[in-house]
Amino acid sequence: MTDEGQFARMLLLAVDAWRYGTRDDRQQHDLQRALAEALRVAATRSGLDPARWRRQEAGDGLFAIVTDESAEPKVIGPFIRELDEWLGRHNHDLRLRARLRLRVAVHHGVTLPAALGYAGDAPVHVCRLRDARAVRETLEVFPEVNLVLAVSEPIFDGSVRQRHTSLAAKDFTRVEVADPAKQFFATTWVYVPGVTSERVGACLGTLAVSLRFAGAAAPPPGFFEQVLRPSFEAVGVAAPDGEEPTFRVPAELAGTALTGRWLEEVRTAVTAHCPLARIAVGIALAPDPAAASAEAAELADAEPAARLLAATDRGRIVIVVSERVHEVVVARGGRLVFPESYRRSQGKTGCWIRVPGHSVPPEAAPGPDSPPAGREVPAADQSFSAMTHGERSPILGQSTFTAPVILGDVHRHGGPR
């Protein structure tokens, strides 16, 4: 450790026990002993030496400067796995409220020894990440898990994303942390052992869907009975109650299950039962349920979706997802989720658009020069290499054209269109 006032950039670990204050004196005594043993065993088994750590302890957790050489890859990987395994054995026969469950945060930055412990922005930062509302809520949302790990953006970008750790980037979920009262705003990346990042991303916020029907104030007759409810049943999830066009998505339908399988079931049912319906589907993710619903409705009503629906007199579905949904779910891809099929909106609304059946959403130019309804003509002097999706056609090459003819490497999913 450095002398007081000397500059040093250190790896920082902050740990806190779940619901410590609700326990009686004896329970707190036993929990502290178990916590100390859990950290000692996990550190030793992962090749770290906890005796070298510089600690600032509290009854329900600790702040530690990890001084081991090359500690970062060991902490973000073996240490977390060993800690989760120890906690799993310890908690096996305990009731939920008696279990030892932990919030763990990791960061690195400048740290100075001070009269009452350690000073600097970095110690504050790592403790604020550990105590962030979203990190706390993770243990409430997933009662079966033993711990949640939150790493700072520098740790994620410098170590996890660069594959210096055995925990992969795809296993983490990005979370924006905001505490206006303390003037603290940051990005953290959350990992929950045994829970997919998609499910974490969906459950840390509320997913909401909003449906808008072009040319009609209400959905087509039978839409909820023939399309919406069967689409939820097809993916094994109970449909939302009522017949409101904007609804919150059940937690079980997280991530790509919503943007992939469920949307495909909706599309199939619409084709069968409402072949002329033109529907905009807005999907949003926000910490507050009301905010998620409002944003989903705004996306479904947004001008880009309206123009694409107005450009055709045939049946069509336009999917509009928020920046957050695209980042957390779509960009990672998955079953029936094709990131390359989304196009960023050029309008004021921050969103991404997909039109099923098109490799890239068609442009619907506004104004008097727009193509007539039912006919989408690419702009002149524009080169295309087209892709739809399953059956592969011969390569015809790339060409510039003004007629609605596709020349290129054509792929189809689901047979000829």
The mean pLDDT of the chain is: 82
CA angle 329, 193, 158 (to 5 degrees): 70
Q: Which domains does the chain have, with CATH numbers?
A: 9-195 (3.30.70.1230), 205-354 (3.30.70), 377-417 (no CATH)
Taking the alpha carbons at both ends of the chain, their separation in whole angstroms is 68
Backbone angles phi, psi at 305, to 5 degrees: -70, -40
pLDDT in tens, 27-41: 999 999 999 999 999
The 3-state DSSP class for residue 29 equals helix
Query: Nearest to residue 251, comparing CAs of 288, 201, 299, 297?
Result: 201
| Contact by Cβ (8 Å): 45, 78 | yes
Confidence category of residue 396, pLDDT binned at 50, 70, 90: very low
- Predicted confidence band of residue 225 (pLDDT cuts 50, 70, 90): very high
pLDDT value at position 349? 62
CB neighbour list of residue 95: distance below 8 Å, 6 or more residues apart: none
Q: Spell out the alpha helix ranges (H) of 340-391.
A: none
The three-state secondary structure class of 279 is strand
- At 74, list the tokens: 């060991």
Q: Give φ, ψ of 364 to 5 degrees.
A: -115, 95
Are β-strands 316-322 and 9-17 bridged in parallel, bridged antiparallel, or unpaired?
Answer: unpaired
Residue 382 has pLDDT above 60, yes or no: no
User: Which range among 71-75, 95-99, 399-403 shows the weakest confidence by mean pLDDT?
Assistant: 399-403
